[in-house]
Structure 1
Amino acid sequence: MALRALGRQLRNLNLGPAVQTTSRFFGASAHHDDEHEEEEHGPAETPTVFDKLVNLTVVDMNGIRHKVRGLAGQSLSQALIEYGFPETYFFPNMGFYTQHIVDAHVFVPKEYWAKMPNIDPDGEEGGAVKRMFRDIVQDYQRDTSYFASYITLGPEFDGMTVGIGPIKPWCLHTSWAFTGVHDSKVRQFDKPTVEIWG
């Protein structure tokens, strides 16, 4: 009984002025029919992780192709590490402030060179790049050689094919050097890279 009485009370209420007040407050556009509202606003489109995916083809040192997915804003070296390439493909970046960054030598197709960041050869980063070519890449350097940590993935790189370039054992200290094998993360990073000697 109580519900019926409440229903009668609600039906008897005069809601006319309240509707008018609401219309004046929000403006005439506050009232929409459902069809018009869907067309104008539609469902909310929140970006998902799939919208940020960058698809790459990476050719390893044995010539095997791998489909690698990275995220926009991530460096190419991070994407390669997360994919699971062997530790022997990586080395520490030789910049004074970037020794903690893992890097890799890669071959980038010439059609993507216009999208690569320019590095001042006389700046600190330029010096690090020169040291990495001299001490790590050595005579494996090619016209298309680049370093993966300097490539920030974005939509412009979607569909790019890169090759992982070979590297040579490097010396991190005059009294301590690799002997042809560089597959231990501990050995790669337990000496400061600023002590590299030519």
Structure 2
Amino acid sequence: MLKAAGASLRRALAAVSTSPLESSSRLIASSSAVQGGADEHHGYEQTPTVFDRLVTINVVDLDGKRRSVRAVVGQTLAQVLVEAGYPRTYFFPNMGFYTQHIVDAHVFIPQDYWSKIRNYKEDSDEADAIKRTFRDMIQDYAKSTSYLASYIDIVPEFNNMTIGIGPVKPWVLHSEWAFNGVHDDPTPQFKEPTTEIWG
């Protein structure tokens, strides 16, 4: 009986096993199929790059000069303006309780793009900071299209959008930020970019 069981086991193994050459061919074929499938979904031409996240923003400065700057999706508009080298006198500290280290700017945004800007609840800390910044920094320079650059996240739909930089009229500023209403200081806000887009 044990002999018969052994014989049937040998027959079963012989039916399943193949020569080493056949096994190698089958392995190569299956590997190629998997590789081909991967190429169909993750080919080189479909791999996203930083260039896919670049948009162009047209900026009109306080002197009325128009300039196109590059922005990366996900940055704030304030970061974009800082990295573009606009003068430090265009910027001021955000008036949020925990965000006064964040540099901000008064900007005019076309009505067509307002639906793409993040909305904040009336009783939120962000809404309070926005109100305080308008009250303390922008005052009577505010228009219906005014907003704060640090609260605007760059999205692909902003490509070729034209914005204006608005003036500010601060009541009280720390001496390091004070500029007496002068907007033509050529010194940039920062000498180095705040975000390295090629990294």
TM-score by length of 2: 0.71
Partner of 1:7: none
TM-aligned CA deviation for residue 148 of structure 1: 0.5
- CA deviation profile, 1:103-159 (whole Å, cap 9, x unmatched): 001000000011111122222111111111111100010111110001111212111
SS in 1 for 2:19: helix
Give the residue type in structure 2 aligned to 1:143: S
Partner of 1:104: 105
- Rate the CA distance shift 1:19–1:57 in 2: closer, same or farther, 3 A: farther
Mapped pair 1:180 → 2:177: no
Contact 1:170–1:178 (CA under 8 A) maintained in structure 2: no
Contact 1:103–1:149 (CA under 8 A) maintained in structure 2: yes
Mapped pair 1:120 → 2:121: yes
Pairs within 5 Å for 1:1-40:
17-25=19-27, 29-31=30-32, 40=40
- Rate the CA distance shift 1:23–1:99 in 2: closer, same or farther, 3 A: farther
Give the residue type in structure 2 aligned to 1:80: L
SS in 1 for 2:105: strand
TM-aligned CA deviation for residue 95 of structure 1: 0.8
Contact 1:169–1:182 (CA under 8 A) maintained in structure 2: no
Query: Structure 1: which 5+ runs fail to align?
Result: 1-15, 189-198
* Aligned-partner Cα distance in 2 for 1:130–1:72: 26
SS in 2 for 1:74: coil
Partner of 1:46: 47
- CA deviation profile, 1:41-66 (whole Å, cap 9, x unmatched): 68424322211111110110111111
Query: Structure 2: which 5+ runs fail to align?
Result: 1-17, 190-199
Higher relative contact order (CA 8 A, sep 6+): 2
* Aligned-partner Cα distance in 2 for 1:95–1:162: 24
Partner of 1:58: 59
* Aligned-partner Cα distance in 2 for 1:178–1:42: 52
Partner of 2:12: none
TM-score by length of 1: 0.71
RMSD of equivalent CA atoms: 3.2
Partner of 1:158: 159
Partner of 2:95: 94
SS in 2 for 1:180: coil
Contact 2:121–2:127 (CA under 8 A) maintained in structure 1: yes
Mapped pair 1:80 → 2:81: yes
Contact 2:106–2:147 (CA under 8 A) maintained in structure 1: yes
* Aligned-partner Cα distance in 1 for 2:118–2:41: 39
* Aligned-partner Cα distance in 2 for 1:25–1:67: 55
Percent of paired sites with the same residue? 54
- Rate the CA distance shift 1:39–1:52 in 2: closer, same or farther, 3 A: closer
TM-aligned CA deviation for residue 100 of structure 1: 1.2
SS in 1 for 2:138: helix
Give the residue type in structure 1 aligned to 2:165: I
Partner of 1:145: 146
